[in-house]
Chain A
């Protein structure tokens, strides 16, 4: 990454950069506003990665505490959001490792995207799930599907496709290579696609009909 271009900070008081500067100068209200803004996303991320309520709560608290402690060391070369996500990812992975012992350490091992494995369920979806299920039901279905992924996959998927970090940011946050991010993301996407297709596919003879 290059030592970035510092564009002029807008004077909008709700601008993230302004809030961070105020918080760094000791303004507790500004920091509270940042917490307010990102707490739900951080909690969701922690839950997706740890799959445990208690751990997710710890991660939520510890991440913002750490951010507060290290705020002065944050120089704005990345966005505050990316920074806090990175802290939360580290905290979440630590929790996960603690719980799973050493079963989850192979963060950079290559993954085979076997064709047979992902082509099992080929059918079109019945309409639009967002219209067919309540928000709550849909949340349940989506969370359940993510839960079944292996930690390596669901972590990458969460960062890339839910929190919308870039491939580079994800690689950096997880300390893995860019090709590893890409292959895991592909695998996660295909697995989720298959799981959701089982749920949402058009039933009956015409399951394969676009025409």
Chain B
């Protein structure tokens, strides 16, 4: 019998699509009986989803301008086109 503590330790593996199916079935048996862990799995999945869905924001214009200026100087110094 898997305890909540043991299950949480293996949560990453449970969420990983590449985990060995035998291991997964073993963990699944806990989630199907434990509401707490079921909720944790669900909200952890959602947490990862919102982070993965986040597009990187634009870099502030002045920061970008200074980056290009620095690169330009570098390229000129090194003699590339």
Chain A: residues with CB nearer than 8 A to chain B? 26-29, 31-32, 35, 39-41, 43-44, 57, 60-61, 64-65, 68-69, 113, 115, 118-119, 122-125, 129-130, 135, 138-139, 142, 161-162, 164, 182, 185-186, 189-190, 192-193, 196-197, 200, 208, 210
Indicate if the CB atoms of B81 and A190 lie closer than 8 Å.
no
B31 within 8 A of A: no
Quick check: is B29 within 8 A (CB to CB) of the other chain? no
A125 & B51 in contact (Cβ 8 Å cutoff): no
Chain A: interface secondary structure? helix
List residues of B whose CB falls within 8 A of some A CB.
4-5, 8-9, 11-12, 35-36, 38-40, 42-44, 46-48, 50-59, 63-64, 66-67, 70-71, 74-75, 78, 80-81
In the complex the two chains form, is A113's CB within 8 Å of B8's CB? Answer: yes
Q: Shortest 10 CB-CB distances between A and B: which pairs?
A: A40-B56, A28-B80, A44-B56, A193-B47, A115-B5, A193-B44, A28-B81, A26-B80, A28-B75, A43-B59
**Is B43 within 8 A of A125, CB to CB?**
yes
A119–B74 CB distance below 8 A: no
C-alpha spacing A39/B12, complex, angstroms: 30
Residues of chain B contacted by A69 (CB below 8 angstroms): 74
Contact A27 B70 (CB under 8 A): no
Taking the closest CB of chain A, its distance from the CB of B13, in whole angstroms, is 9
List of A residues within 8 angstroms of B66 by Cβ: 57, 61
The answer to whether A61 touches B56 (Cβ under 8 A) is: no
Expressed in whole angstroms, the minimum distance between the Cβ of B57 and any Cβ of chain A is 6
Q: A123–B50 contact, CB under 8 A? A: no
Say whether B58 contacts A115, CB under 8 Å. Answer: no
